[in-house]
Amino acid sequence: MGNQLKNIAVFASGNGTNFSAICSAVKHGSIKANLALVICDQPQAGVIQRVKDAGIKLALVRREDFSSKKDFESGIIGHLKQEKIDLIVMAGFMRLLSPEFVAEFKGRMINIHPSLLPAFKGTHAIKDAFLYGAKVTGVTVHFVDELLDHGPIILQAPVAIEEQDTLETLEEKIHRVEHRIYPEAVQIYLDGRLKIDGRAVRISSL
């Protein structure tokens, strides 16, 4: 096996269930990569205990410790370069990164969003779809670009909103789909099967 494993960094600000899904997939071999680093910006985030329990390297990078956004992002980039990160996996990181940061990692940063983009962008996507009365919502994995929830789409999966659903049951359904398709999308990326042509992404067969 001459191929060296790629290094992944997960960015997270919250509870960290998508981190756990990625971590589990790495552990069980369905993601063939080295989960080298987790970047977190919130010292009280639930993801921190998950990272410690998993024995993964954690970098807590707080915005308030830096005088500017540029310095904050430079701090993050320092950690990424130190660990020779090949792919950034955004998993509920609640900060909009600058166009300069995005340009630095263009084509090497992916995000998961709990709707069928371009519908229901933003931080309350599940609630927005539920209150709108949509019959179907879903999950999108996409490349990150300089706009919010906008980059080229890698994978999408629908989730039906049924009459008996509450916001809580819909959230549970969405999270189950997230935890299934995000590891799949990461491995498709690592296999080199993604071809980007403008806004379109083609997935080639192995």
Q: Are residues 28 and 99 in the same domain?
A: yes
| Residues 39 and 73 placed together within one structural domain of the fold | yes
The answer to whether the CB of 182 falls within 8 A of the CB of 11 is: no
25 and 117 within one domain? no
Domains of the chain: total: 2
- CATH number of domain containing 67: 3.40.50.170
- 141: CB partners within 8 A, 6+ apart: 110, 111, 112, 113, 153, 154, 155, 156, 181, 182, 185
Token pair in block for residue 159: 């989730």
The answer to whether residues 124 and 99 belong to one domain is no
Owning domain of residue 120: 111-206
Number of neighbours of residue 192 by Cβ within 10 angstroms? 9
Encode the chain (206 residues) as per-residue pLDDT tens digits: 446 899 999 999 999 999 999 999 999 999 999 999 999 999 999 999 999 999 999 999 999 999 999 999 999 999 999 999 999 999 999 888 999 999 999 999 999 999 999 999 998 999 999 999 999 999 999 999 988 888 999 999 999 999 999 999 999 999 999 999 999 999 999 999 988 887 788 898 86
Q: Is 113 a catalytic residue?
A: yes
Final residue in a domain of this structure, among 89, 105, 121: 105
In eight-state DSSP terms, residue 64 is G
**Catalytic-role residue among 28, 79, 113, 175:** 113
Q: How far is CA 205 from CA 9, 152, 193, in A?
A: 26, 19, 7
Report, in angstroms and rounded to the nearest whole number, the Rg of the chain calculated over CA atoms.
17
Same-domain status, 166 and 182: yes
Q: Is the pTM of this model over 0.85?
A: yes
User: Between the CA of residue 1 and those of 4, 5, 34, 47, what are the distances in Å?
Assistant: 8, 10, 15, 33
Based on the domain organization, do 189 and 115 belong to the same domain? yes
